[in-house]
Structure 1
C-alpha cells in the first residue's frame, strides 16, 4: 500500500500565535519540521506552499458578521467599539483572545487545508498533510477552543462545492470535533466521526453517542466518547471497529482526518492514559481505509496536543512517515531496535529550550508505565458506548 504524498506548509501559518505562554503554540510545528528534516524524511519535491483562504471560501462556513469582526480585531490597535464586542464572537476569553494579524494567519491556516484538499482531489497527489491545520472548534459565528476559522470545515465545503465529493471526516483529537460536526449535522454527503474523552469531564462538553445527525444527515455522524484514563488497547479497540464499520457504511470519496495528539498520558489538558502506540497505529488504519474505499484520497491535518516537547513532534512525524510510506515506519512497526532512537541532532538542538527531558526513542517504553487500577471498568464502559454508537450500522 502506497501512494504519493505531499506536505503542505506556509511560514505564515506560524503567525497563528495568541501569545508566548499560550498552550496552542506554533513551536509544535517547528519541532516537528526539524525532526522530519533531521531524519531526511521530507524532500523539497514533497513540499507544497499553500495560499490564504478567500473570503468567499470562509463564508461557506462562517457568517459575514463574524469574518468582519475577526478582521476588525486583527488590527494592531482595534477600534474600541470592536473590542467591546469581542466577547460576543468568542475572541475575548483566555482560550481564544484576539491578536494582531489574526485574520491573515487564520486565513493561511484555512487555505493550507484547502490546498491539501485541492492537491488530492485534482490528482496531483494521493495523500496530503497540512499539520498547521486542525482548528476544529471554531463555530459559524464564534471562536472557541483556540480556533478562529474552522479550516477543516472550510476545506470540506470546498471539496463539496468544487468536486461534489462525499467526505468522511475523522477526528482523533481528545476533544470532541464539535465545530465540524455542527457545520454538517444535516448534510448526508459529509459524515463526521469523532473519538474523544467524554464531554462529561472535558471541553467542549459535547460528542455524546446520541449526537447522530439530523434530518437528511441522520446517521452521518458518529461519536465515540471514552472514559477518562482510557489506555491504548481500549482506545484502539473502539477506534478500529467503529471507523471500519462507519467507512464501509458511508463509502466516501475522500477521507479528511484530524490528528490532535492530546490523548497521550503526558498531555496536560486531558485525562487519558494512551501512549505513542495509538499515534503509530491510527494513521496506518486510515491509510488502509483510504486505499480500500477512496482510491487512496486522504487529507490529514494537525490539531491539538499540548505536551509540545515530548509528544507532538513524535506523533505528527509518525503521521507523515505513514502517509509518505517512509521505510522508517515499517522498521518501527517491526520494533527494529537499531532504528528506534530519535536523532541526537534534534535532541541537542532543542533540549536547552525546555526543562523537560526530551524523549530519546520514537515509541514509549510501556514496561515503565504504571497500569490504571480501574482498567476493566473503563474498558467495559467504553465497550458499552461503542455498542450504542454502532447499533444502526451493519457489521463488515
Structure 2
C-alpha cells in the first residue's frame, strides 16, 4: 500500500548508535519496526528518505564547541589519555552514556535525520515526517546524559526557528522528562515544550515538575504533566487530551514536533507507569487531528525511549506510522481490538527474542490485574494537571 502525505526517514546505519552489547538502548528496534511495517505492506519504498549527516555548525545550534570536540576525540578507536580523563566532565563515561567508537559521526547522522524530517515538512514536500532514529532528548549543551550524545530534537527545533521562523510546539510522551529540550528553549516565547512523563520524584532525570514553567519571555512556554507511578491508560489519555487541546489552542503553533518514547508501557523495564498499547494508538491520533486543525498538517515525529524492544517498541512505533498515513488497519483495531499481528513477522523474530512475542496489535488488558490504587492515582494526576495548566486558557 502506498502511503500519502508522509515520509519515513530511515537508514540502517542508525543502528550503529550502540553503546555496548549489554546496554538497554538497543537500536535493533529500528529493524524490528521497519520489518513489521514491511510485512504489513504499510511502507512503500518511495516513502523512505535517507537521513543526511548534520553539519558541524548545525550541532552548534545546541551544543558548545568544547563538547563537540570532546565527542570527536572520544570517537577515535583509541582515544588519547587526556580525552579519557575528561570524559566524565562531559557526561560520557557514565554507565548510562559511555563513549563509543565513531559516536560523533553516527550521532551526526541521527541529528541530520531529524533536520531532514523538519525540512521535508517545512518546505511543503510532505505534511508529516517520521524519524524513529531520533528523539535523543536528554543531551545538554555541554554534556551527554540519559543515553543521549547529541540532542537531535533541540537541534532540529533550533534549525526550524532559524530557517523558517516558525512557532514550534514540542510534545514529549517519553516516560522520562524531556529535560534537554525544555532547558534549550526555557526562555524562548516561540517554542512551547509540553512533556508527559512519570514524576521525577521516582524516575530519571528528576525534573519536569508542574512548576517548571519557563523564564523571562518564555514564562508559561514550558508545561509539564508529571503522572504518578502505575498510572493506567484512562488517566494518561485523559491528561494528554485535555492538555493537548488547551495548549495547541492557546499557543497556536505553526508546527508540532513530537517525541515518541514508548517506555510508559507496563512491560517497560526502566519505569513504573502501567499503560498498555492503547495509548500508543490513541495519542498519535490526537496529535494528528490537532496538526491538521491548527498547523496545516505540519507534524514531525521522532523516536525516543523504549527498552522492551521485542514486545513493545515495534508495535508502538508501527502504530504511529499507521496514524500518520491514515492506514485502514486503525479502523479494524477500533472494531476488533484483538486484531492479530502479521504471523510471518512473529515467526521471523520469535527465535531471536528472549521473550515470548505478542500475537495481537493491542494488549489483552482485560486479563491484567487491576491496579489497587487506581482512584487515588487518577485523582492525584488530576490535581497535578490542574496546577500544570493553571495559566493555560480552557
Return the alpha-carbon distance in structure 1 between the equivalents of residues 132 and 28 of structure 2.
Answer: 12
Match of 1:242 in 2: 243
Structure 1 distance, partners of 2:381, 2:202, is 15
In the alignment, what sits opposite 1:355? 354
Aligned to 1:126: 127
Alignment correspondent of 2:187: 186
Q: Which residue of 2 aligns with 1:309?
A: 310
Cα displacement (A) at 1:336: 6.4
State how far apart, in whole Å, the 2-side matches of 1:74 and 1:151 are.
Answer: 18
Mapped partners of 2:350, 2:103: distance in 1: 30
1:325 Cα deviation from its structure 2 partner: 1.1
- Secondary structure class of the residue paired with 2:161: helix
Question: CA contact under 8 A between 1:131 and 1:300: conserved in structure 2?
Answer: yes
Question: What TM-score does the superposition give when structure 2 sets the normalisation length?
Answer: 0.98
Where does residue 267 of structure 2 map in the other structure? 266
* Distance of 2:190 and 2:4 partners within structure 1: 25
1:372 aligned residue: 371
**Offset of residue 326 of structure 1:** 1.1
Task: Trace 1:287-298 onto structure 2 (pairs within 5 A).
Answer: 287-298=288-299
Query: Matches of 1:41 and 1:90 in 2, distance apart?
Result: 39
Tell me the SS of whatever aligns to 1:210: coil
**3-state SS in 2 of match to 1:362:** coil
Whether the 8 Å contact between 1:3 and 1:126 is mirrored in structure 2 is no
Distance 1:33 1:12 in 2: 13
**Distance in 2 between residues matched to 1:362 and 1:328, nearest whole Å:** 10
SS of equivalent residue, structure 2 residue 38 = helix
**1:1-396 alignment, distance < 5 Å:** 4-335=5-336, 340-395=339-394
* Distance in 1 (alpha carbons) for counterparts of 2:315 and 2:22: 22
CA deviation map 1:222-269 (0-9, x unaligned): 000000000000000111101110111100000000000001000000
Cα distance per residue 1:290-317 (max 9 Å; x no partner)? 0011000000000001111000000000
**Local SS of the residue matching 1:194:** strand
Deviation string for 1:40-79 (max 9, x for gaps)? Answer: 1100111111101111100010000000000000000000
Q: Deviations over 1:302-346 (max 9, x none)?
A: 000111100000000000000011111221122265xx1111111
CA distance in 1, matches of 2:324, 2:6: 6
Write the distance in 1 (CA, Å) between the matches of 2:353 and 2:31: 14
Equivalent residue pairs, number: 392
Q: What CA distance in whole angstroms lies between the structure 2 residues aligned with 1:37 and 1:175? A: 30
Partners of 1:388 and 1:114 lie apart in 2 by 34
Equivalent-residue separation in structure 2 for 1:335 and 1:285 (angstroms): 20
Indicate conservation of the 8 Å contact 1:310/1:359, yes or no: yes
Gaps of 5+ in 2: none
CA distance in 1, matches of 2:14, 2:29: 12
Give the secondary structure class of the aligned counterpart of 1:270: coil
User: Within 1, Cα distance between the matches of 2:87 and 2:337?
Assistant: 53
Q: Does the residue aligned with 2:187 lie in a helix, a strand or coil?
A: coil
| Kept after mapping to 2: 8 A contact 1:18/1:97 | yes
1:393: how far off? 1.2
SS in structure 2 of the partner of residue 57 of structure 1:
helix
Change (3 A) 1:368 1:336: closer
SS of equivalent residue, structure 1 residue 203:
coil
Once residues 107 and 333 of structure 1 are traced to their aligned partners in structure 2, the CA distance between those partners, rounded to angstroms, is: 39
Residues 341-382 of structure 1: per-residue CA shift (max 9 Å, x gap): 111111111111123100000000111001100111101100
The 3-state SS of whatever aligns with 1:78 is coil
CA positional deviation for 1:13: 1.3
Give the 3-state SS of the residue equivalent to 1:225 in structure 2. strand
Whether contact under 8 Å (2:232, 2:273) holds in the other structure is yes
Q: Distance in 1 between matches of 2:49 and 2:98?
A: 30
- Please report the TM-score for the alignment, with normalisation by the length of structure 1: 0.98
